[in-house]
Amino acid sequence: MTRCRVPGDKSIAHRALILAPLASGRSILRGIPTGRDVQSTVHAMRALGADFRSQGEGVLAVEGGLEATGPSAPIDCDKSGTTARLLAGLLAGLGVPGELDGDESLRRRPMDRVVYPLQAMGAPIRYLGERGTLPIRFDGRASGALRPLRHVPRISSAQVKSALLLAGLTGGTRVDVIESQQSRDHSERLLSWMGAPVEVDTKEDRVRVSLDPEGWHRPLRPLDLDVPGDLSSAAFLIVAALLTGRDLVVEGVGLNPTRTGLLDILRSMGAGVHTELEGSAASEPWGSVRVEAADLRPFRIAPAMVPRLLDEIPALAVLAARIPGTSMIEGAAELRHKESDRLGLTARNLDRLGVDCDETPDGLRIRGSATPLSGLVETGGDHRLAMAFGVLARLPGMEIAVQEPEAVEVSFPGFWDELDALVPRSEAIGRRPTR
């Protein structure tokens, strides 16, 4: 039985770094990942005046009571969509002037999904380049609260929901976000734990998250948080273990039910999956996951399941490529707007390597086989594609090279070493796939 740990959860870390400076005292955050995306939020919050002090690797002491100042230079969110969208909500709510920008991949991603509802609240935001994308400028607001907002997004998005909650919290305005499929709920959990007036109302066909700061003057309680490991990072090691017939235990990993769709799919495929809850960190459940290899069946991901495994689809796609039978992914068009067009690029790469794969407007149909695969994988600089195809490349009998392997730095800087430890390179040489 191999055991491993993964870097801290990116989604929880972004939110903790944004909320801790708003608290009424000193927070301690441990397990902050060193990957590029989360560091973008560290830099962005520092630019707004946040006081972060390093207390060792991944440990930050954060002074509360942020008095945000408009940063003199544009805030560079690099490749991080979560940084850009959450910061948009924060700047809109705080009413400070500022500019948000990103690298060329982030400049291609849609920002109108947050800008439009923030403008509807009265936030003065302008596109500086192409309409709908970064860079964007916040003109600052002299006085007066934002208008309340009731928003029903076309697609569920935790980044949009979180941006609007941050705008409501810091702008002193009621916000209701109604999703037909619940997106990850880390913001709601952290905000409630810190004492913010957040309510979640779940009905069969929708989830409404409301934040109503009227009459609420209590300060936010500081955080003392150990960020649990990121199940989205663990997904790649779990798939590598299953494809090489190993049992694996991932320790100290986040088990928030809005994120564990991967485990349900693996169970549906016939894998042994056992979770053990060991604690809760600021309302975030965490524990260990044990995965036992088995003869696996193909899977079907229905649209309603997508938000719970959104970032795990590249890992599941390479798993499908080696499982006999046809696996289906539906309702995942949102993947076209991630760090790359993840549906298109996954299909193109699988096809190029010799996997029988059809791309649909919102999904993939993958017929798995044991045929040896060979070719060059184009990652488009997307960390999740580099890791997914990196796992495929490591299987015995493959002759696959992955372009831009350094893309893993975005979320999992030690990924290649962890993969080496789990599936030694020597195993991959000169052997044919066992399935």
Nearer to ligand S3P, 9 or 99 (CB): 9
CB 257, min distance to ligand S3P, A: 15
Name the residue nearer to ligand S3P (CB basis): 82 or 233: 82
- Binding test (CB under 6 A) with ligand S3P, winner from 39, 159, 244, 349: 159
Binding mask 185-224 for ligand S3P (x = CB under 6 A): ----------------------------------------
Phi-psi domain of 290 (left: phi exceeds 0; alpha: psi -120 through 50; beta: other): beta
Q: Does 11 bind ligand S3P (CB under 6 A)?
A: yes
Crossing angle of helices 81-94 and 158-171, rounded to 10°: 20
By CB under 6 A, the residues from 293 to 322 that bind ligand S3P are: 310-311
Stretch that binds ligand S3P, among 99-107, 157-165, 208-216, 249-257 (CB under 6 A): 157-165
Residues 6+ apart with CB under 8 A from 286: 228, 229, 252, 253, 254, 255, 277, 278, 279, 280
The answer to the question of residue 101 lying near ligand S3P (CB under 6 A) is: no
Give one DSSP letter per residue of 215-242, joined into a string: T--PPPPPPEEEPPB-HHHHHHHHHHHH
Beta bridge partners of 360: 363
Contact positions with ligand S3P (CB under 6 A) in 369-428: none
41 binds ligand S3P (CB under 6 A): no
Considering the rule CB under 6 A, would residue 157 count as an interface residue with ligand S3P?
A: yes
- Residues 91 and 114: beta-carbon distance below 8 Å: no
224 carries an active-site annotation: no
Query: Running DSSP on this structure, what letter comes out for residue 106?
Result: H
The HSE-up count of residue 112 (CA atoms within 13 Å, CB side) is: 9
| Cβ-based nearer residue to ligand S3P, 286 or 398 | 286
Of the residues 9, 37, 185, 311, which is catalytic?
Answer: 311
Say how many residues touch ligand S3P, by CB under 6 A.
Answer: 12
Whole-number minimum distance, CB 184 to ligand S3P, in Å?
A: 6
Helix, strand, coil % over all residues of the chain, rounded to 5: 35, 25, 40
Nearest distance, CB of residue 202 and ligand S3P, angstroms: 17
The residue count of the chain comes to 435
Query: Cβ contacts of residue 274 below 8 Å, gap of 6+?
Result: 289, 290, 292
Pick from 111, 158, 225, 400 the residue near ligand S3P by CB under 6 A: 158
Determine the Cα–Cα distance for residues 383 and 380; give it in Å rounded to an integer: 9
Q: Do 167 and 90 touch, CB atoms closer than 8 A? A: yes
Which of the stretches 158-166, 270-278, 368-376, 426-434 binds ligand S3P when contact is defined by CB under 6 A?
Answer: 158-166
- Measured between alpha carbons, how far is 142 from 136 in angstroms, rounded to an integer? 19
Shortest reach from residue 160's CB to ligand S3P, in Å: 6
**Least Cβ distance, residue 337 to ligand S3P (angstroms):** 8
Judged by CB under 6 A, the stretch of 95-103, 156-164, 206-214, 318-326 that binds ligand S3P is: 156-164
Q: Is 357 left (phi over 0), alpha (psi -120 to 50) or beta?
A: beta
Tokens for 167?
A: 């705008």
Least distance in Å: CB of 250 to ligand S3P?
A: 19
Residue 84 or 243: which CB sits closer to ligand S3P? Answer: 84
* Cα–Cα nearest to 70, from 53, 49, 93: 49
Closest CB 110 distance from ligand S3P, rounded Å: 10
Draw the binding track, 322-361, toward ligand S3P (x: CB under 6 A; -: no contact): ------------x---------------------------
Interatomic CA distance for residues 226 and 50, integer angstroms: 20
Site string for ligand S3P, 55-84 (x = CB under 6 A): ---------------------------x--
CA neighbor of 189 nearest in space, from 200, 203, 181, 179: 200
> By CB under 6 A, is residue 27 in contact with ligand S3P?
no
Burial (Cβ within 10 Å: 0-12, 13-18, ≥19) of residue 371: middle
If one asks whether residue 183 binds ligand S3P (CB under 6 A), the answer comes out as: yes
**Contact positions vs ligand S3P (CB under 6 A):** 11, 14, 82, 157-159, 162, 183-184, 310-311, 334
List the catalytic residues.
Answer: 311
